[in-house]
């Protein structure tokens, strides 16, 4: 399932043998004035070196909270975190803030959606990279760290890095800033990169460049990547495996081909149906999933997708488990009560086109 290139770094520390990153039954709830908000409700996945795992879902599906919880950024007095996150076998959820600081940046790096606001406007780009380097290795001289920052900027494709390293973030374009963010993430050669909507705020042409950069790094350095996005086009471009999230739960997971060619959950159909396709006649109107994502404060009983699903039936009042329904593919799982044959019939709204619309 995962492609492990020869250049993959040996796992650091830990027990070895197991997956690089294992998330088990992760639940994240927040106490709010309106009650408890269950942002993430039982997420499981593993990540191997060199693999790109995409987490897909609408806003509020819990994908960003999942990612931030891995490195403990969601910790707060109001947050209630359960389950397990293991990096090379080491449990992260029980680590102290101090211990986690050593993991952040050096073993798991994270880049964010909006490169415009993700860098501190008052320090030069180089200084911010130097800060990341020296946070983990105080012994590095400032000059050496600065040279390394320039080198990293060059590596992510910023022209004239020796000069640009002393620029302030506002002197960079959006694409360059995201490259600089990636350079900062790479500074300590982490084994996992979490990219939270890294291309959402960028122009389409720049999006492709950034994706290719992430893909390159993933291949050349064996950098395991978690890519969070709501854009299936991005997923198709780079992902090896896909997790589809809805209302804080994983509703379908499988390989890239599983999700694109044999999607099992109606929500996935809806996502695929709302993509523009070049190989099909242009539809009159781009199909959409009607309704809005559910409020995490008051999820519907049973299947969370039930209110928006045209194929709802009596059984949907019970919560479906994340199970393998296809005997030939035990790793392709979904949360839907429909049988595989029914699904195949229902999702094909037109010959060769998957969608969520009510069959004619």
Partner 1 sequence: MLRFAVRRLVGAIAVLFAISVLVFLIFNVVPATNPAARIAGKNATPQLIKNVEEEWGFDKSLPEQYWTQMKLIFTGKATSYSLAHINIDQRILEGIPQTASLCIGAAIIWLVFAIFFGYISAIRAGGFIDRFITVIALIGISMPVFWLASIFLYYLTYKIELFPASGYEPLSDPVEWAKHLILPWTCLAVLFAGFYSRVLRSSMLDVMNEDYVRTARAKGLNQRRVMVRHVLRNSLIPIVTLFGLDFGVLIGGGAIVTESLFQIEGVGYFTAEALNQQDFPSIMAVTIFGAFFIVLFNTVVDIAYAYLDPRIRLGTSAV
Residue among 224 and 271 whose Cβ is closer to partner 1: 224
Question: H-helix or E-strand containing 88?
Answer: none
CB 266 within 8 Å of CB 355: no
**Separation between Cα atoms, residue 27 and residue 33, nearest integer Å:** 19
Residue among 110 and 235 whose Cβ is closer to partner 1: 110
User: How far apart are CB 170 and partner 1 at their closest, in Å?
Assistant: 5
**Separation between Cα atoms, residue 315 and residue 336, nearest integer Å:** 10
Q: How far is CA 353 from CA 155, 241, 317, in A?
A: 41, 22, 28
Residue among 118 and 191 whose Cβ is closer to partner 1: 118
User: How far apart are CB 81 and partner 1 at their closest, in Å?
Assistant: 16
Beta strands 21-32 and 79-87, pairing class: antiparallel
User: How far apart are CB 179 and partner 1 at their closest, in Å?
Assistant: 14
Residue among 108 and 356 whose Cβ is closer to partner 1: 108
DSSP bridge pairs for 252: 244, 334
User: How far apart are CB 95 and partner 1 at their closest, in Å?
Assistant: 13
Residue among 56 and 132 whose Cβ is closer to partner 1: 132
Tokens of 247: 């209302």
Which residues bind to partner 1, rule: CB under 8 A? Answer: 71, 73, 97-98, 101-106, 109-110, 112, 114, 117-122, 131-132, 135-136, 168, 170, 181, 184-185, 187
Q: How far is CA 97 from CA 92, 101, 165, 192, in A?
A: 10, 6, 30, 19
User: How far apart are CB 113 and partner 1 at their closest, in Å?
Assistant: 8
């Amino acid at each position: 399932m995962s492609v492990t290139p020869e250049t993959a770094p040996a796992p650091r520390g830990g027990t070895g043998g197991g997956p690089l990153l294992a998330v088990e039954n992760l639940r994240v709830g927040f106490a709010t004035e309106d009650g408890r908000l269950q942002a993430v409700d039982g997420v499981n996945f593993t990540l191997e070196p060199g693999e790109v795992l995409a987490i897909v879902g609408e806003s509020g599906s819990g994908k960003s909270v999942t990612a931030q919880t891995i490195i403990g950024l969601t910790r707060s007095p109001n947050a209630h975190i359960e389950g397990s996150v293991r990096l090379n076998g080491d449990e992260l959820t029980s680590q102290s803030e101090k211990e986690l600081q050593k993991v952040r940046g050096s073993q798991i790096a994270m880049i964010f959606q909006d490169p415009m606001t993700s860098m501190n406007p008052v320090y030069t780009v180089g200084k911010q990279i130097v800060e990341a380097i020296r946070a983990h290795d105080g012994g590095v001289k400032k000059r050496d760290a600065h040279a390394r920052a320039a080198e990293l900027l060059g590596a992510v494709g910023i022209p004239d890095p020796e000069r640009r390293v002393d620029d302030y973030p506002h002197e960079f374009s959006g694409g360059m800033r995201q490259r600089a963010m990636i350079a900062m993430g790479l500074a300590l050669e982490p084994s996992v990169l979490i990219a939270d909507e890294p291309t959402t705020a960028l122009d389409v042409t720049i999006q492709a460049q950034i994706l290719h950069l992430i893909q390159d790094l993933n291949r050349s350095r064996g950098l395991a990547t978690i890519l969070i996005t709501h854009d299936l086009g991005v997923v198709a471009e780079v992902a090896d495996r896909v997790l589809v999230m809805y209302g804080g739960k994983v509703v379908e997971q499988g390989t890239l081909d599983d999700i694109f060619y044999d999607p099992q959950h109606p929500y996935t159909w809806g996502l695929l149906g709302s993509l523009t396709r070049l190989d099909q006649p242009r539809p009159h109107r781009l199909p959409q999933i009607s309704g809005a994502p559910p409020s995490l404060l008051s999820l519907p009983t049973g299947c969370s997708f039930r209110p928006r699903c045209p194929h709802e039936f009596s059984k949907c009042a019970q919560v479906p488990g994340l199970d393998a329904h296809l005997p030939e593919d035990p790793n392709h799982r979904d949360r839907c009560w429909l049988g595989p044959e029914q699904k195949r019939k229902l999702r094909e709204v037109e010959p060769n086109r998957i969608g969520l619309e009510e069959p004619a």
